[in-house]
Chains A and B, each alone.
Chain A
């Protein structure tokens, strides 16, 4: 893995039941690269949570992945409503997900906290009315 590998995924915001396709494909790509299974697990859960967030709140978005010798970087970008209070959004149990999403077992207010839990670095940049970019890094060494 001397050169950086880049992957790009479009996350469809229309179909909630198929949400997770990008993460599942990402997981398969990482397996083929021979990345440590526990690192793959952490990275793909973090990416799935991000993907779900984009589907719930932002009508979808894009996921870009860069894999270098040192780390996996996942950048999730959407043109959704933005996050007014990031500190609050990071609290476990805080959720603004609608009821129909909760009935599917999401919206427990654990998405962003899980993304932080499973990654080594996480940065959220958000502007209300413009969109949100979440950058996550998982170290390979």
Chain B
């Protein structure tokens, strides 16, 4: 399932979507950035509640399909602009991280 399809199906807010056709091939949940960099894999959707500027660089370097901010976490406009500039997809969910993970799990099975 693509990032755009996932956002549509589960009514996630699109904050940045420079690459809508990117396939989601798995998921990783975590807020400790080095932990995420050590464990997450390319093409996964990264679910986090961390909302500082550094998440964009991390997402770009580990090459995830998208960042999904859970629990209705918001991003500053400057961070959204940075995500667009770096080609990083960012979605926002009102639901808790666990529910977002369940939705991803449902779609990739």
Chain A interface residue count, Cβ-Cβ cutoff 8 angstroms: 27
**Stretch touching chain A among B9-17, B47-55, B92-100:** B47-55
Interface of A is mostly: helix
- The size class of the interface chain B forms with chain A is 20 to 34
B window 20-67: CB within 8 A of A: 31-35, 37-38, 42, 50, 52-55, 57-58, 60-63
Contacting residues, chain A, for B63 (C-beta < 8 A) = 37, 41
Contacting residues, chain B, for A23 (C-beta < 8 A) = 57, 61
C-alpha spacing A24/B82, complex, angstroms: 12
Q: Are B62 and A110 in contact (CB under 8 A)?
A: no
A-B residue pair count with CB separations less than 8 angstroms: 69
Q: Contacts A27-B60, A41-B63; is A19 near B37 (CB within 8 Å)?
A: no
Please tell me which one of the listed residues A24, A37, A106, A111 contacts residue B60 in the complex, with CB atoms under 8 A apart. A24
Q: Are A27 and B32 in contact (CB under 8 A)?
A: no
Which residues on A are within 8 Å of B, measured CB to CB? 16-21, 23-24, 27, 37-38, 41, 44-45, 48-49, 52, 104-106, 108-111, 113-114, 117
Rank and list the top 7 A-B pairs by shortest CB-CB distance, nearest first: A20-B57, A110-B34, A108-B32, A17-B53, A105-B33, A114-B38, A105-B50
